Every structure is written in C-alpha cells, then in structure tokens.
Amino acid sequence: MQFMQALKDRWSSSNSLVCVGLDPEPAKFPRNFAGDEEGVFAFCRDIADATAQYACAFKPQIAHFAALGAEGALTRLIAHLHAAHPGVPVILDAKRGDIGSTAEQYAREAFDRYAADAVTANPYLGRDSVQPFLDRADRGVVILCRTSNKGAGDLQDLVIDGRPLYQHVAEKVANEWNTHGNCALVVGATWPEQLREVRAIIGDMPILVPGVGAQGGDAEAVVRNAATKDGMGLLVSSSRAILYASSGDDYAEAAARAARELRDTINAARG
Amino acid sequence: MQFMQALKDRWSSSNSLVCVGLDPEPAKFPRNFAGDEEGVFAFCRDIADATAQYACAFKPQIAHFAALGAEGALTRLIAHLHAAHPGVPVILDAKRGDIGSTAEQYAREAFDRYAADAVTANPYLGRDSVQPFLDRADRGVVILCRTSNKGAGDLQDLVIDGRPLYQHVAEKVANEWNTHGNCALVVGATWPEQLREVRAIIGDMPILVPGVGAQGGDAEAVVRNAATKDGMGLLVSSSRAILYASSGDDYAEAAARAARELRDTINAARG
C-alpha cells in the first residue's frame, strides 16, 4: 500500500474523513471482554469491523497496548485490519522521536514489525531524527504540530520571528522535510484558529485532527477551518467517544452509530 | 528505590559518572549470541554484569528491543539489573510524549510494567503531557533539552526573546515542572557550549549526557562545562563504544575496559 494514494482513494470511496482511534482500556470494556491479550484484540477487532464502513483510516495507539504488555494483540489487530479491510490505511500512533540510529529502530518497529502504513512522530529532535521515517516513501509520517492537549502552547506557542513554534514546524515539514510527499501533520480539533493558520501554510497536506469527542473539539469548526478546497485533507480522529459509546452488549452498534454520526456531522459541514 | 537519592548515593559509592547504555543490535553481537529474545537478554546481561562496578546507572534503549519484538528480554533484563546490582538506577530510554491520558499509559509502561527507576521524556507537548511522569515522585523524569544529534538545532535553537528554545525548556523544567525534585535533563556531549549554558540555568539538577564515544563527544569537555561544583551532577552515557568494544570472545572484558577508561577519563577531568 502506498499510504498517501491509499488515503486519497479511501477518502473518496468511503465518503468519510473519520479516523477511528483504537485505544483499548480494559476498565471500560463491555463485560464479555477480559483485559488480557485475547480480550484486547477481540474488543478492538469488533469495534474496527463495526466502524470500518465509516472510516477513512484506523489509528491504534501503542501506549494502550504497551501498558498491558499486549504487543501480540496489536500485531494481530493490524494484521486483521489489513486482511478484513484492505484499502483502509492504518496509522500507528506512537509519537516516536530519537536520534537517527535509534529512529531507524523505531521505523522498523512501526513499519516492519507492526506493518503500519503510517506512524506519528515528534519533531523536537529535528529533521535527521525523522529522516528514517521519511525515507520510507511508501509509508506516511504524521508529525506533531499543534497538539490537542491544554498544555500544547507551553512550547508550541513560543514566538520566533513573530510566529509561534508550531507554524515554524508546519513550514519546515511542508517546505523542507516532505521531499517524498509522505508527510502529514497533527493539529488538535481543540484549536480551530490554529487549524486555519496551519492549513494556510501547508497547502493540501493531510492533517490528522484528534480531540473531537471526549476532548471537546467541534467537528464543524474543524472542517470549516482546515478542509482543503475539494473538501478533503483531514483525518478527524475520535477514539473514546466511539470505543466506549456503550459498555453494554450493544457496544458494536453504538460504536458504529457514533462513527456514522461523526461522519455525517463532518459531511454536512463539507457541504 | 527513590531515584534521585539512589543516583546521588551511587555517584558516591561507585566514584563514577558513567551511565552504561544497553542498545542491543544483534548484527553486532559476538558469535555465541543469537538475535532472539534469549540472545538479546544474555548479551545485555553479560555487558551489565561486566560494567556494573564502573556504572552510576544503566540505560536500556527501548526501540532496540521493540524493533525485535523482544519486550520479554527487556523485562528480564531490568529484573536482573535490580536483583544483581541493587542501588544502580535503571533509566528506560523511551523519549515518550503524548497527551495526559495517554502519557499515563506510558508511565505505566515504564514504571509498572518494566519497573524502571526513571524514563526519558519529550517536552514538545508541554507540561500536562509530562505530568503523569512527574507525579511519580519516587521515579525520575529525564526531559530532552539539547539532544546529541546533528539536527538538534532545527527546533531547539530557534530563538525566543533572545534565547534558544532549549534554554526555555531548561528554565521551565527547573522553575516550573520540577515540583517533586525528580527531574533531570538530556544535553548531548556533542554540544559543550550548550552544556555550560544549561548548567548555569538549572543549578544542581542532573544532566544525562549521551554522545560520547560513537557520536564523537569529548568527555573532558563535558565535565569541564557541566559538572556541579562538587564534581557530580552528570550521567555520561555511552552505549555502542562499550557494548561493541569487541565482537570476539573477550566482549565482556572489552566492555569493562571501555567503561573503566571512560570513568577514568571523566574522573581525571573532575580533578
């Protein structure tokens, strides 16, 4: 799979900008699922199968597996996603960042071990720390720009030459790091103004937008401020609001409904 | 173990500022070690046992285990370090950074699953992203400031109010984030001037200094520029130059020699 082309194809074929986040938290699972590797895999699989038709991408978050020692569940889950939902890109949310020789190991972890189509990465260490990811031209590299959390501005808003750090990151990625055309950026739904500013800098580059749902971001404002002219360019990611829409036996139907409603809200705003 | 006190005790009892990095790369192993979980564990264990007397800390780098699917080897290794070398702190080099709810999962990964005494963390997402680590007051949080790689300056040298970003990070950590006294910073040995400037900002806070050995940093310059007045305050980390000092049957003796020589070079500079 060539990530960028697959993403564009999937935006069209699914008519959806919804990215389904897979963040397993056993304490929130319906009663039939144990917190062991089998339970983690089965719950995430059920949610993915129920929501796939409304999804332009899946985004498993690796910390939720690592905290449980459930790497095996993550491996099985991504293999299942590729087999059952071919054409839906899988973004491993890992936010890795290290010096080049170590970043190569992280690239192997994400792309070879887990067979992810894309990975999230942290830009603080500079371009050479991201290069091993960038060099995998068939895979996507989704770089943190303006994150969804309240403290995002502590560093990201510091002003350099009249513009905040996150805008410098957007500019560097768009103008210098994206030589293979496989970059995207993370900008939180909780920051509609910043979404608009980043879109103005980066042209049609995709933006992964976490923070709708549990974190309070407004999906309509996201579309209004950051969709590309053709109404694409976004992966609006929701995790908890889909995964834990119901803790009853209707967990899969409730997840599908939450994903569909988010898709419809977004599509109404796309006009 | 209370990390900060344990580190201070160990600096004194070992008379060493050397931090032994454990970055397994099977292609570089001596011929008797396979690249499987057993080989990875056994090689790292042998290096640790051979170098412990010259070490103020151990620093396993998690990407090197994750790329191999060798989480089991990492678990066994840290358990062995605690059992065989009590009083030598173990820093898990993971450079994690994510929004608060996910950072909590990463804190569980490092401190509960792997029983590390400290973890490295990335500051780009701001204080609330580091808070779940900071809140574990008995563990250490080693925050990236000026990293050892060539591209470190891409973001870290951008100038805000007359001073580069990495100095703002040093100031925030020292004056705002370190409420439990469990913070340290990463500054590369490859940047002696920046080491001096960071030391001037942070008082006696420990600095983890990667980049001697394979990356070319000068241990004497590190001590001259960044030791505290009592000749402490540093974890001078070396990985490849110790681990792969010999690929022959004398790998353990060669590693011990490399660690001892680094200790002696550092101690000569401490005067």
What mean pLDDT comes out for the span B260-270? Answer: 96
Cβ–Cβ gap A149/B159 under 8 Å: no
Which phi and psi (to 5°) does residue B120 adopt? -85, 145
Q: Report the sign of the C-alpha dihedral through residues A33, B69, A56, A186, in that order.
A: positive
The torsion angles phi and psi of B38, rounded to 5 degrees, stand at -65, -45
Residue A147 has phi, psi (to 5 degrees) of -80, 165
How far is A230 from chain B, CA to nearest CA, in Å? 31
How much of chain A exceeds pLDDT 70, in percent? 100
Q: What is the pLDDT of residues A173-195, one digit of tens each?
A: 999 999 999 999 999 999 999 99
Which residues in chain B have their CB less than 8 angstroms from residue A95's CB? 96-98, 122
Q: Do A99 and B147 touch (CB under 8 A)?
A: yes
From A95, A150, A172, A229, the catalytic residue: A95
* Dihedral (CA of A158, B235, B178, A65) sign: positive
Q: Do A126 and B23 touch (CB under 8 A)?
A: no
Adjacency order of strands within the sheet including B18-22: B57-60, B18-22, B234-238, B207-209, B183-187, B140-146, B118-121, B91-96
What would the 3-class secondary structure string for A76-138 be?
HHHHHHHHHCCCCCEEEEEEECCCHHHHHHHHHHHHHHCCCCEEEECCCCCHHHHHHHHCCCC
Which helix (DSSP H) or strand (DSSP E) does residue A140 occupy?
A: strand A140-146
Across the range A151-168, mean pLDDT stands at 98
- Residue B97: list chain A partners with CB under 8 A: 95, 97, 122, 124
Phi-psi region of A171 (alpha: psi -120 to 50; beta: other; left: phi over 0): alpha
Task: Give B224 to chain A, closest Cα distance, Å.
Answer: 25
d(CA B206, nearest CA chain A) in Å: 20
Q: What is the reported pLDDT for A213?
A: 79
| Chain A environment of B126 (Cβ under 8 Å) | 147, 149-156
Asked if the Cβ–Cβ distance from A63 to B151 is below 8 Å, we say no
pLDDT digits (tens, 9 = 90+) for A6-23: 999 999 999 999 999 999
Q: Are A119 and A111 in contact (CB under 8 A)?
A: yes
| DSSP 8-state assignment for residue A73 | H
Domain hosting A138: range is: 3-270
This complex has an ipTM of 0.97
Judged by CB atoms closer than 8 Å, whether chains meet at A105 and B154 is answered as no
Residues of chain A contacting residue B187, judged by C-beta atoms under 8 Å apart: none
Q: Which of B95, B150, B172, B229 is catalytic?
A: B95
Are A147 and B129 an interchain contact pair (Cβ–Cβ within 8 Å)?
yes
Interchain pair A156, B124: CB under 8 A = yes
CB contact under 8 A, B66 and A106: yes
B161-217 tens-digit pLDDT: 999 999 999 999 999 999 999 999 999 999 999 999 999 999 999 999 999 977 888
C-alpha closest to that of B61 among B50, B74, B45, B51: B74
Q: What is the pLDDT of residue B53?
A: 98
CA distance to partner chain B, nearest, from residue A13 (Å): 31
For A121-138, write each residue's pLDDT tens digit.
Answer: 999 999 999 999 999 999
Residue A99 near residue A124, CB atoms below 8 Å: no
Q: Which residues of B touch A125 (CB under 8 A)?
A: 144, 147, 149, 151-152, 155-156
Q: B234 to chain A, minimum CA–CA distance in Å?
A: 20
Mean of the per-residue pLDDT values of chain B: 97
For B150, the closest chain A residue by CA position comes to A128
User: Chain A contacts of B122, Cβ < 8 Å?
Assistant: 95, 97, 122, 124
B95 noted as active-site residue: yes
Residues for chain B: how many in total?
271
pLDDT of residue B204: 97
- For B131, the closest chain A residue by CA position comes to A151
Report how far residue A129's alpha carbon sits from residue B17's, in angstroms, rounded to the nearest whole number.
Answer: 27
**Contact list, A155 vs chain B (CB under 8 Å):** 123-126, 165, 168-169
For the segment A148-161, the average pLDDT, to the nearest whole number, is 97
Closest CA to B191 of B209, B170, B164, B171: B209
Q: Between A and B, how many residue pairs show a Cβ–Cβ distance under 8 A?
A: 160
Enumerate the residues of chain B whose CB falls inside 8 A of the CB of residue A109: 63, 66-67
Contact B245/B234 with Cβ under 8 angstroms? no
pLDDT at residue B217, as a whole number:
86
Identify the pLDDT of residue A271.
81
Tell me how far CA of residue A49 lies from CA of A52, A55, A190, B202, B218, in angstroms.
5, 10, 28, 51, 55
Tens of pLDDT, residue by residue over B33-53, are 999 999 999 999 999 999 999
Q: Give chain B's domain count.
A: 1
pLDDT for residue B117 is more than 80: yes
What mean pLDDT value characterizes chain A? 97
Residue type, B250: D
CATH code assigned at B138: 3.20.20.70
The residue of chain B with its CA nearest to that of A100 is: B149
The C-alpha angle with vertex A150 and arms to A133 and A123, in degrees rounded to 5, equals: 20
Which of B105, B172, B238 best tests the A interface by mutation, with the highest count of A CBs <10 A?
B105
C-beta atoms of B155 and A165 within 8 A? yes
- Smallest CA–CA distance, residue B91 to chain A, in Å, is 15
Are B102 and A71 a contacting pair at CB < 8 A? no
Each residue's pLDDT tens digit, A81-140: 999 999 999 999 999 999 999 999 999 999 999 999 999 999 999 999 999 999 999 999
